[in-house]
Structures are given as structure tokens and as C-alpha cells.
């Protein structure tokens, strides 16, 4: 949400949706950045490119989309699969299944 006027550019913030879900996702993303290798690499890459302010929100979204995919496919988290997919993306090969 932008807090702008004609001559003033204010601070942007995340707003709306369900506060309880956003709060839980925030705490889960904080933990994932410190313990999950996939999320940690993603976070460090965003910070290295100068996107420190939005890095955690992006990690929240990545975590949510990953969890939605796991629920949709009725599968458990398997870090070896996700590590392989991430390594393949880093190499530029987008043909993985």
C-alpha cells in the first residue's frame, strides 16, 4: 500500500487481506529464512540485489505458494526435490517437471 501525496513519497507497507494469516506467515518466513536452505538462498539473493525491504514479504509469498502446491498435490515436503529444482533454476534449465 503506497502512502503518497502530490509531493511526498511515503513508506510502503503490506496491508489488507487476513491479518492473522499474514502474521503467521511472517513468523514462518522468519524461521524459514534461518533454517530452510531454499528460502534462505532466495532471501540472500534478494538482499544482495538491493531489495532488503521486500525480501521477507517475497519469502512469505514463496512459502505460501510452496505450501499451497504441497496441499494441492497431497505430498509431504521433500527437501531433495526442492533443492534439485532450485539448482536447476540457477543453472538456467527450466525443463524440470
Grid coordinates representing 79? 527437501
Query: What is the spatial distance between Cα 76 and Cα 24, in angstroms, rounded to a whole number?
Result: 20
> If you search the block for the grid coordinates 511526498, which residue do you land on?
8
> If you search the block for the grid coordinates 544482495, which residue do you land on?
48
pLDDT > 60? residue 92: no
- pLDDT band, very low/low/confident/very high, at 94 (cuts 50, 70, 90): very low
Domain borders along the chain are 19-91
Q: How does the average pLDDT of the chain come out, rounded?
A: 76
Query: What is the spatial distance between Cα 33 and Cα 13, in angstroms, rounded to a whole number?
Result: 20
pLDDT digits (tens, 9 = 90+) for 30-46: 998 998 888 888 899 99
The residue that leads in pLDDT, 56 or 18, is 56
Amino acid at each position: 500500500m503506497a502512502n503518497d501525496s502530490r509531493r511526498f513519497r511515503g513508506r510502503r507497507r503490506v496491508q489488507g487481506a487476513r491479518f492473522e494469516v499474514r502474521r503467521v506467515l511472517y513468523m514462518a518466513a522468519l524461521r524459514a529464512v534461518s533454517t530452510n536452505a531454499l528460502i534462505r538462498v532466495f532471501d540472500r539473493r534478494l538482499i544482495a540485489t538491493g531489495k532488503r525491504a521486500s525480501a521477507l514479504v517475497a519469502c512469505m509469498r514463496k512459502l505460501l505458494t510452496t505450501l499451497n502446491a504441497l496441499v494441492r498435490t497431497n505430498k509431504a515436503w521433500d527437501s531433495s526435490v526442492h533443492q534439485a529444482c532450485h539448482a536447476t533454476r540457477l543453472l538456467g534449465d527450466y525443463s524440470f517437471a
